[in-house]
Amino acid sequence: MVQSTAEDVDAYLAEVPAERAQALTRLRELCRAELRGFSEAMAYGMPTYRRDGEAEIAFASQRQYISFYLMRTDVRDAFQERLAGHDMGKGCLRFRRPEKIDFELVRDLLRATAAGPGSIC
């Protein structure tokens, strides 16, 4: 998917490939449930979740994978062992197939992020 020009997350989810829509909707549901006090918005063509104006979480449908962006270095460091073996960039967890998304890991990352502010990369 080319960078989205959707104005909100509902419009974003309406334009994603059908085979990814359910997984991306589930990511959104988890973000909304776990990130209390965060605001949901579109930034850089993807859904983002901000606390006090700072984006801490985002996700996107990329050409080859679904990306889950975890901008908190402290949370990544705390989960280093559980993240080992996953396709991970500096701040991006990549899932090549929607059915491979570890939603339990994502939920735990979201809960750790929501627990308090921290360093953003």
Q: What is the CATH number of the domain that holds 99?
A: 3.90.1150.200
Q: Which residue has the tokens 């909707």?
A: 25
The CA-based angle 86-114-109, given to 5 degrees, is: 10
With a cut of 90, say whether residue 121 has pLDDT above it.
no
Model confidence at 2: pLDDT above 80: no
User: 36-54, pLDDT tens digit by residue?
Assistant: 999 999 999 999 999 999 9
Residue 1 domain flag = no
CA dist., res. 36 & res. 53, Å (int): 14
Q: Report if residue 69 sits inside a domain.
A: yes
Can you tell me the distance from the alpha carbon of 43 to that of 47, in angstroms, rounded to the nearest whole number?
Answer: 6
Query: Is residue 12 within a helix (H) or strand (E), and if so which, with residue range?
Result: helix 9-15
- Residue 120 counted as domain residue: no
Tell me if residue 17 falls in helix, strand or coil: coil
Instruction: State how many domains the chain has.
Output: 1
Domain that holds residue 15: 9-114
At 77-91, the pLDDT tens digits run 999 999 998 999 888
Share of the chain above pLDDT 70, in %: 98
Rounded CA separation 107/121 (Å): 20
Q: Is residue 119 part of a domain?
A: no
What is the C-alpha to C-alpha distance for residues 36 and 14, in angstroms, rounded to an integer?
Answer: 24
Domain annotation covers residue 58 = yes
Q: Name residue 85's amino acid.
A: G
The answer on pLDDT for 93 being more than 60 is yes
**87 located within any domain:** yes
> What pLDDT does residue 115 have?
95
Percent of the chain with pLDDT over 90: 85
